[in-house]
Amino acid sequence: MPTSRSYRDSCGVARALDVVGERWALLVVRELLLVPQRFSELRRALPHVSSNLLSDRLRELEHNGVIRRRPAPAEGPRVYELTEWGRKLEPIVLAMGDWGVDAPQPPPPAALSATSVLIFLRGAARPDPAAPPTTCRLELDGRVWTVRLASGRVQVQPGEPATADVSLRAEPKTFSALLADPATLATACADGSVAVVGDLSAIDRLLHAVTDPWPSGDQTSASPEVAGPHTS
């Protein structure tokens, strides 16, 4: 059942926690940072939350103006997306991710969503600005993403690229492990945990943009659950 608990404290911190301080609320926000999602997609990304509890959090966040529902692009259930006010939580969530990488790892089995890995990739990758533009097609946990490296920056967008230099399919934890240690790519391809089609050097550039980042003035990176060697 949705909660209406309040700290009854006029401080802005307390009022913010009245809105997004309930368990799972900020992880729902994290999952919606990159792309709107259906209820079933959120359940898959957050496997340790019950359907009832997730429904409660979604209703609360919608009631409080953090998210909204809109019709899906195709026939099917509606999707949830952040409102303009909810979008303002992004730097807060990313800062929490930076802070949280020094916290202890949770006990197994621990989840790791594609969104979490991609948020880390977007923040941590520092491609060589002199390298040619590269477009990678990533398929993580059944969803396709387009990752572009160009002019020393990385862009992450949902959906199929018009053209791609390389395509990689893996589970989020496997891709996270590759970001932590690109040298394991050949082994992962050999054992079938990773499927790569196209220019292997393009994937190599993507992975090494994280492990051997090109110097950049903007050092912002974050993910609540992943930070290269900190992952398990």
CATH number at residue 186: 3.30.1050.10
Query: Amino acid identity of 148?
Result: R
The Cα–Cα gap between 133 and 137 comes to 14
Q: For position 28, which CATH number holds?
A: 1.10.10.10
pLDDT of amino acid 221: 43
> Which of 45, 73, 98 is the last residue in one of the domains?
98
| 139-152 per-position pLDDT tens digit | 999 999 999 999 99
Say which DSSP state 215 is in: P
What is the rounded distance in angstroms from the CA atom of residue 62 to the CA atom of residue 72?
A: 17
Question: Do residue 82 and residue 136 come from a single domain?
Answer: no
**Pick from 142, 147, 160, 139: nearest CA to 206:** 147
Q: Which helix (H) or strand (E) holds 208?
A: helix 200-211
List Cβ neighbours of 167 (8 Å cut-off, separation of 6 or more): 136, 137, 138, 139, 195, 196, 197, 198
What would you measure as the largest C-alpha separation in the chain, in angstroms? Answer: 58
Q: Determine the pLDDT at residue 140.
A: 98
pLDDT digits (tens, 9 = 90+) for 151-185: 999 999 999 999 999 999 999 999 999 999 999 99
Kindly state the tokens that stand for 116.
């979490």
E strand residue ranges, 59-115: 67-70, 79-82
**Model confidence pLDDT, tens digit, residues 100-139:** 989 999 999 999 999 999 999 999 999 999 999 999 999 9
pTM of the model: 0.89
Task: Summarize pLDDT for 28-63 with one digit per residue, the tens.
Answer: 999 999 999 999 999 999 999 999 999 999 999 999
Q: Is residue 213, in this structure, part of any structural domain at all?
A: no
78 domain residue, yes or no: yes
Residues 181 and 137 in one domain: yes
Do 151 and 91 belong together in one domain?
no
Q: Are residues 82 and 126 in the same domain?
A: no
Q: How many residues does the chain have?
A: 232
Coil, helix or strand at residue 51:
helix
* Per-residue model confidence (pLDDT) at position 228: 39
Scanning the structure block, which residue is given the tokens 């969803």? 143
Strand partners, 82: 67
Domain boundary pick from 67, 98, 129: 98
- Do 118 and 195 belong together in one domain? yes
Instruction: Flag whether 52 is in a domain.
Output: yes
Residues 24 and 71 in one domain: yes
Examine residue 199 and state whether it is found in any structural domain, yes or no: yes
Examine the domain organization and report whether 60 and 136 are in the same domain. no
Range of the domain at 196: 114-208
Direct distance between the N- and C-terminal alpha carbons of the chain, in angstroms, rounded to an integer: 34
CA dist., res. 41 & res. 37, Å (int)? 6
Structure tokens at 37: 């999602």
Confidence of residue 226 (pLDDT cuts 50, 70, 90): very low
Number of domains in the chain: 2
